[in-house]
Structure 1
Amino acid sequence: MSSDPVILDVLASICKDALQMFERIVIVFDDKEERRANICISKHFIYFVNREMSKLIEGRERISYLDITRAVVDSSTNRYFLLELRPGASWSGTRILVQSTHRELLLQKIALCWQAEVMYRLFDVRKFEMVKAALGEQLAAVKNMMAKQNDLIKIEPFRGYEDSFSYRGYSFWLRKGFASVSGLKDGVFQNDQGWEVTYKAQPVSVPPGVRVMVQVDNEQLIMDLEKSRDGMEDLRTVAMEYQRSLTENLDQFYVVVSGQYLKKMNRTDDIASWDGWEFFVRSKEYCFACVLFRRQYIPPLFSTCQDGFACTCSTDTLKGV
């Protein structure tokens, strides 16, 4: 998923419309035509440009948001979704299957544009319908594509964890019992039940009220980051700024851990580079366990980077630690 202005200008000249973002995808029209293409998002239409970025796909140039009835999200992978079209739509077909490496972000953008188009054209307020289904069991096209690419198989979470959490295009596992505090997609989750674990043969009781906060910054050019004069090109400096903001209102605290963090899993076969920094802070009333990530050389242009921050906060001292 990219909003690079140079590439968007090239695609906009082909689509003859102002574009907001694009992504390289694998698309299947009505379970028949499978091809690699570029999906381009504008205010009123979705455009499909060929792989070479030279012209619109003949006969499949664009589709209006009002022609889309709902999206079916594949529950067995993290990449497939199906757009179902209303009968009698301007599009010659009934459904569009999409394989996307940034499925959540793409669907969020489509849902936002769909709702805006409904308000603008129909003077109505409705929520874009999205449902989950195992597309591999229902569509032969998905089954055939999954057979060719084993990396698309979904990795199940650890025992006692759930994989239904996400924020700004990044999904992650949390223990059962966590839920959004506000009900909004603000990246804040809380567990009101508590749990017990064993650490180095010692039982540890984690009290209720543990909160996980996730923050994802906007992408920025690596070139601009390297030119910054505030030291933010160094991940340790960024981590120290986060640490200072967390502890500035604490009377007394001490840092137990502060050092580089190695990301060990790659569930989505991401080819970008990841760096990490972790720190653990304890005070009389709070515990902060934080990890800062920097994702660099992000596809498809490999010219951007993005920082993400995850912090676990407990308002009570962990018993047994």
Structure 2
Amino acid sequence: MSKNRCLEPMNLHCSSKLPHLRASVTPYCPKPTLTRSDSPKLENDKRNGLDMQLPEEEYDITVKRVRWAPTYGDRSSSELTDRPATYITPRSTKQIQFDTDTPDEVRLAHELRLAVHRGGGSVDPERNSELRARLSPMQLPYSRVQRILRECELYERNQTTYILPIDYGRQTVGLICKARTDNLSDLKLRLLVILKQHRARFINRHLFKEAGFIEAVLPNKVLLSFEDFNQTLQTDALWCKATSVTIKNYAKGAVTFQCQPLDLREVKAKLRDCGYKITHSELGHSPKKALVQLPERQMKRYKEFLEQLKQDHDVVRVYDNVRV
């Protein structure tokens, strides 16, 4: 019996009854240590590296500047710092009557704010004709103008563009009112007062289609007569894939091309190749049917109605089907 007991596996036997004997049978393995070499004959790269003194190098500390965008709304007193963010541009989209002691910079900033808003909300002069016209005579440093435009861009983030169809004159005249606002219900209430005075209403009779409009100027127009100028426009419109062209000002050579919405960029590029100077381009609305001819008395009344619509600070553009 004792002979068979000694033949049992040692690991099983020791682990079950004599756990303190398991460590005695494990060989001792010392931890490896690094020894410092004292031999002066060895080169530095052949030693273990513990006796080398590395030179102390000074590294330049780089600081990354982060420009934080200002937040909207009122801030609590705990969030206010010693120097809170200040704005040059008033946020209002209405015409403000400033005091006599108001700085000229604030007045000019407000005019830029109105030009950005009424021009469609773009701070790019190439896409906003009203902003481009206002920037040309302005006497401000470039850095200040850029700061004002950044503030205008922050304000315009809360604005949305809406298309409001209007019926006028017993279903004979149709209008498309393009407005930009952050409160659509308030805008409709303001316009509803004007509509009731002129017997108009908000209704969509699907009289318009979306189209691209390109306003351009032909510099070398002075060398052409009216007939040749008109023939040149028709030829260029056909080659540039424009659907129609109208003369706005023959003396200045100002014309307006109309094209499909998806062909707007291509038509602009081809017009530039033909020598035209693009002044403005946008996606608007064109009447599907022939233009309406109003009598003189109704035309005077209609112009008053149209002028009241355009005086609203949120109205960007008005399209109609009336022949002027």
Q: TM-score, normalised by structure 1?
A: 0.23
* Higher-strand-fraction structure: 1
The two structures have a TM-score, normalised by structure 2, of 0.23
Q: Per chain length, whose mean CA-contact separation is higher, i.e. which structure has more relative contact order (CA < 8 Å, sep 6+)?
A: 2
Structure with greater Cα Rg: 2
Indicate the structure with greater helix content: 2
